[in-house]
Amino acid sequence: MRRPILLQLALVVLVAFTASPLVAQDWAKATLEKSPRHREYVAIKHGDRTVQAFVVYPEVSQKAPVVLMIHEIFGLSDWAKEMADEIAAEGYIVVAPDLLYGYGPNGGGTDAYPGQDAVTKAVSGLDPTVVTADLDAAADYGKKLPSANGKLFVAGFCWGGGNSFNFATHRRDLAAAFVFYGPPPSDDALKNITAPVYGFYAGNDARISATVPTTTVAMKAAGKKYEPVIYDGAGHGFMRAGEDPATNAANKTARTEGFKRLIALLKQESTASAQPPAPPAAPQRPQMAAIGVPVVGMPFVHDPSTVIRFHGKYFVFSTGRGAPFYSSPDLVTWTREGSVFTQIPDAVHALVPKNNGTDVWAPDIIRMNNQFYLYYAVSSWGSFQSAIGLATNPVLDPKDPAYKWTDRGVVVTSNGNEDLNAIDPGVTLAPDGTLWICYGSYHGSIRITQLDPKTGLAIAPNTLGAPVATARESEATDIIFHGGYYYLFVNHGSCCKGKDSTYNIRVGRARTITGPYMDHDGKPMSEGGGTLFLASDAQRIGPGHFGRVLDYDAKPTDTIAPPGGTERFSIHYEADMKRDGRSVLDIRPLSWSADGWPIAGDHPAVTTNAAGTTADHLCDSM
């Protein structure tokens, strides 16, 4: 479940046009060396990669916006660093990552390459996914600086201009994006932009400027703010070329006017009221079936737990007031049993005071020690201050005399400052008997923490778990074991927007439960990788929250699928268009390819129920 937040810090991301070590930029270097501002190089680690960034601080008495400068096709040159310093002089912290760092000779960056051609080839060959991950890491670094004040901008030049436009389709906490003579992203990606985009283009640069009219139309159609300016007579790269003493008058004029416009817009957006990206609307509470009344058809749920069978009934728990749950004898007729809580336990609620005391998100469940362990998330819309709690019960049927939920306390938390959001728990009992919980949502990393299999609580409660995937655009994870591998399922895309949701399920695998998880193409999930497992179709939009169906009535060694049975998994759809666009549970067959990758099967369309009538499994909601 997506939980955006009003950021507490400001960041401007600038992508600078740069030159190679063999292109003389003595004029830029001389200007930089005269600067009185503090400059430093920092190593920013994310996942298994480290990127180095050049950071410049303004001489101001108050907290400042941050400028992340992303260099252009020629790497982090003297000009790029001089431009960073010049923007810092206007009152902005500037963070300029060297996106070639680690790829150059001897693990170096731009300066390690022998010449301009080598730098150009290297930048041209950068993996876009890694570039985005580097930019995210640099942005996060800037946001956490004590002297940053709460605004995030992105801007870029040429190759970097294209990346800045693309970054605006990815990063939802931007206050504005500045694109200097860079190409636009695809029309389909424009709908994801949440910030105004300001363009700076050269009149004598038809390769790029010819895209402006169609981009203007596409941005208007998408309902996005886009204000391009074309500088007559200027050539591509005029922001750098305009500083070169040997340049022409048109480039000098464009450079002067372009920089003046950039600073004016930065100041305009910096002083605008800080508005968070609009969070997805909280899902409307459905009109549920009456408690205890059987209804034919899969129930209307969001963020379903693992579906389990116990004492002849299937049970599923979901997001909602008090964690509502449902039972079914046959996966056809479902009965709403009630909710786990009337009020969230005090110790858990105290950690998330903005929660209304009843809303529970994305529970998951497992059986151990003759008890059911229910893990549930508590948070509030627009906040990363979250907690995952634990409650246990020996049985699940409210009619059983032994039925009683017992609060077991807090498992993991996030206070809004860490590199995670502690929601969407997925619990895994590994073959070696160790117990693990994975969690995270749209902030920092998806993490995994080891639990005590006796208590169900974290072994090291004050320690962040190991990062296993990026959570920048993902959440709702679950880990299963099959054929010697651990498989990490994670949702990419957006939820909670009905038919406009873009949820899809991705998967990667690892030999150890803490990773590293790689997709089918060998791309790390920590860098945004993930092989597509299940996407929307024409009628069923936004599949999410993968879980494997567990049968605790079967033999202990056959809890996944009884002998001769079919392995199954559960999900929900953000919108089933056959059912008025509602969110609904589904259970589908799970099979495996010859090389050991999961395959999502489709469910049987029609099943005969006990009364002898037929019922479409996706036809009626509760």
Distance CA(607)–CA(378), nearest Å, equals 37
User: Structural domain boundaries of the chain?
Assistant: 10-271, 299-616
First to last CA, the chain: 21
Is residue 372 predicted with pLDDT exceeding 80?
A: yes
Burial bucket for residue 68 (CB in 10 Å: 0-12, 13-18, 19+):
buried
C-alpha distances out from residue 225 to 264, 277, 331, 392, Å: 17, 14, 48, 51
In the chain, what are the helix, strand and coil shares in percent, each to the nearest 5?
20, 35, 45
Type of residue found at 567: E
- Read off the pLDDT of residues 518-569 as tens digits, 9 standing for 90 and up: 999 999 999 889 999 999 988 899 999 999 999 999 865 556 655 556 799 9
Q: How confident is the model at residue 288 (pLDDT cuts 50, 70, 90)?
A: low
pLDDT tens-digit series, residues 52-95? 999 999 999 999 999 888 898 999 999 999 999 999 999 999 99
Question: Is the full-model pTM beyond 0.75?
Answer: no
Cα 226 to chain centroid distance, Å, stands at 25
Which class is 299-616 in CATH? mainly beta
Going by C-alpha positions, the residue among 155, 203, 205 that lies closest to residue 180 is 155
Residue 106 phi/psi, 5-degree rounding, is 60, 30
Which of 72, 98, 140, 303 does the annotation list as catalytic? 303
What does the pLDDT read at residue 175? 87
Give the active site residue among 269, 475, 519, 551: 475
What is the mean pLDDT of the segment spanning 281-288?
49
Question: 326-356 pLDDT, tens per residue?
Answer: 999 999 999 999 999 999 999 999 999 889 9
Annotation marks residue 303 as catalytic? yes
In the predicted model, what is the mean pLDDT of residues 113-133?
A: 92
Q: Write down the residue that tokens 């819309």 correspond to.
A: 381
DSSP class of 518: B
Residue 431 in contact with residue 424, Cβ under 8 Å?
no
Question: What is the pLDDT at residue 271?
Answer: 81
- Assign a CATH topology to domain 10-271: Rossmann fold (3.40.50)
- Alpha-carbon dihedral angle through residues 292, 297, 302, 308, given to the nearest 10 degrees: 70
- Is the pLDDT at 273 greater than 60? The verdict is no
Least confident of 119-133, 164-178, 274-288: 274-288
Question: Which DSSP letter does residue 498 get?
Answer: G
Length of the chain: 622
| Per-residue pLDDT, 606 | 33
User: Residue 382 corresponds to which tokens in the numbers above?
Assistant: 């627009």
